[in-house]
A = this chain, B = another copy of it.
Amino acid sequence: MIIVLKPGISKQQETAVLREIRKRGYRPHVMRGVARTVIGAIGDELTHRSLETLVSAFPRAVESVMPVQKRYTLVSRDAHPAGSTIKVRGRTIGSRQFHVMAGPCSVENEKQLLKTAEAVKAAGATFLRGGAFKPRTSPYDFQGLGEKGLKLLAKARQETGLPVITELLSEAHTEMVAEYTDIIQIGARNAQNFQLLIAAAKTGRPVLLKRGLSMKIEEWLLAGEYVLANENCNLLFCERGIRTFETYTRNTLDLSAIPIIKKESHCPIIVDPSQGAGRADLVSAMCKGAAAMGADGLLIEVHPNPSEAWSDGAQQVSLDVFKRLMEELRPFVQAAGREMANG
């Protein structure tokens, strides 16, 4: 910790601050600068009590306190410099293979789901996504088919061989969801619902953690730390757009998160351009950008008839559009030194 003192404080005030720093288990180291005196407090910031309260404890003497250690360790790239991979039913995410997870926003019925699953598989997707439990802004919107939806996902997996990813949004459903799904998705609105993260981690299933709407990179990494700290090392980050002042798009997809997560963490990163833009007409360009910038895969909403979708129709692409998108995507995946994964 670095403690910056205010200019012109008395010797007595300085001594009191030093005493407090020692009391909390740190060794103070004083540097007298031109305009400010700065104290380096030597000790482990992760195990000792924080010194940040010195600002309020000594309002007239302490100007600011700055941490120098990073607060996350298990998700940090330092912990696993080579990068980690996640194995799911014979597929490996985080490898040279580029994975596309595709399917409807909501599971609606058997016909809709199977038709979509077969089409996305034929086009090259290697995972099937689909929402059985839906967090909806309004209590009057469709909330998902629940367990019936999970059963349809399992059936679609049986028919197509595609592993399944679906969202968990209640601790009460943890066991049930884990029984049916191959990857548990934690949605943006629950990204700091730490109890849910712990419950998901404990199932042992890989966890895909979406970035919260206004989550800083550091907070996202720390939320991921909750998963690894609960003994589940199969974590995937998923960028899905952040909330900004711009209203043309529903969210602002922050593609810079890809190289940043690659730099700071060993965990794979997936990009969701459907939520990211909230507009089907921007999905294709965003997929190409994500592949070019080094993402490990994509999560795309696809629907046989977007205009009839029970949720988020405006951002789902049709089966035809998805097929064309997959073809157009290939050269960008190759330019990035990867190859499209094979089902």
Residues of A that sit less than 8 Å from B by CB = 2, 4, 7, 20, 29, 31-36, 38, 40, 42-46, 50, 52-59, 64, 66, 68-69, 71-72, 78, 135-140, 169-172, 189-190, 192-196, 212-214, 216-219, 222-223, 225-226, 229-230, 242-249, 252-256, 258-260, 263, 276-277, 280-282, 285-286, 288-294, 306-309, 313-316, 331-332, 334-336
Contact = CB atoms under 8 A, between A and B. Distances in A.
Interface centre among A29, A217, A223 (most CB of B within 10 A): A29
Contact of A137 (B44, B138, B222): B222
Nearest to A194: B135
Contact of A53 (B31, B214, B306): B306
A225 B139 CA distance: 7
19 contacts: A2-B2, A7-B78, A20-B307, A31-B40, A33-B43, A35-B45, A50-B313, A53-B307, A56-B280, A56-B313, A57-B306, A189-B193, A213-B214, A217-B248, A245-B245, A252-B254, A256-B277, A260-B282, A292-B293
Contacts of A226: 139
Contacts of A195: 169-172
Contact of A293 (B4, B45, B289, B316): B289
B222 A139 contact: yes
Contacts of A288: 292-293, 335-336
A325 B192 CA distance: 33
A210 to B, nearest CB: 13
A253 B257 CA distance: 10
A40 B32 CA distance: 9
Contact of A289 (B135, B216, B292): B292
B256 A314 contact: no
B52 A314 contact: yes
Contacts of A293: 285-286, 288-289, 292
Given A40-B40, A260-B282, A286-B256, A225 B292 contact: no
A276 B289 CA distance: 15
Nearest to A35: B69
